[in-house]
Amino acid sequence: MRFKNKVAIVSGAASGMGLLTAQKLTEEGAKVILTDINIDMLSAEAENIRKNGGEALVVQVDVRKYEQIKHAADTAVEKYGAIDILLNFAGGAEGRVLNCSAPFHEMPVEVIDWGLDVNLKGAVYFCRAVLGTMIKQKRGVIINLGSVTGMEGGGFGAVNYSAAKSGIIGLTKSMALCGAPYNVRACCVSPGPVLTRPGMANMKTRLGRAAEPQEVVDLILYLCSDKAAFITGSNYVIDGGRSCGGME
């Protein structure tokens, strides 16, 4: 029970690694505020967590809207009196999510805006909303989800996504600097391909496979735990060797 009575906010919690992390946190005693734009899926998954003995609240959040993010942070403090962990999972490659296959120089500006807003600004907004509480209570952990694409760059269809995920690394270092005097840590986890959807299986890695979601979540949970108390400001790459280079 590494996270007994810890209070965690998870963005992008209706599916994928955000949901899996929320489930594992509650299994180990955390009280979790699940946030996502998809309120129906979010509510159903929260109910499943409660049926399994976990404690979960639901707050609908569009990460492009700061007032909704602040409402989630305020809800955590009003209900539980603290915010111990923030996990920024919300995001996605804008071309895939918005069904736009145009190369970057032909991509509609509104698609570019969506990608920057969801993949970078949403995490910035969430950090802004929780940092004051963490500083006041003199403890906290922020985990930002990056991507190997933020390190190796992206082709015509992933310029925006790569730029946003590179920004996540800078955000993490900045939060680590801001939080260090107050025992607030920040780390970035940058996965390669993860089997949260079938298409990921086709992305090459040196180990010849994509990661299982649990493999990434195990790393995230370690970084959230007290065993990682001396770790802050770092970007943890979990990509099966993809970023070593030389992949065709």
By the 8 A CB rule, do 148 and 190 touch?
A: yes
User: Taking residues 9-27, what's their average pLDDT?
Assistant: 97
CATH number, domain with residue 17:
3.40.50.720
Among the options 66, 161, 182, 236, which is catalytic?
161
Answer yes or no: is 46 within a domain. Answer: yes
Q: Residue 144: its pLDDT value, please?
A: 98
Domain count, the chain: 1
**Which phi and psi angles does 219 have, rounded to 5°?**
-65, -45
pLDDT by residue (tens digit) across 140-169? 999 999 999 999 888 767 899 999 999 999
The DSSP output letter for 236 is: E
Residues with Cβ within 8 Å of residue 60, at least 6 apart in sequence: 35, 36, 37, 39, 42, 68
Q: Check whether 247 has a pLDDT greater than 70.
A: no
pLDDT by residue (tens digit) across 38-74? 999 999 999 999 999 999 999 999 999 999 999 999 9
- 146: buried, middle or exposed (CB in 10 Å: 19+, 13-18, 0-12)? buried
Strands 7-11 and 85-88: parallel
> Closest by alpha carbon to 59, among 13, 99, 102, 28?
13
For residue 55, the SS3 value is strand
Domain that residue 201 falls in:
7-241
User: C-alpha angle 94/96/100, rounded to 5°?
Assistant: 80
Q: Residue 156: its pLDDT value, please?
A: 67
pLDDT band at 219 (very low <50, low <70, confident <90, very high): very high
| Known active-site residue 161 | yes
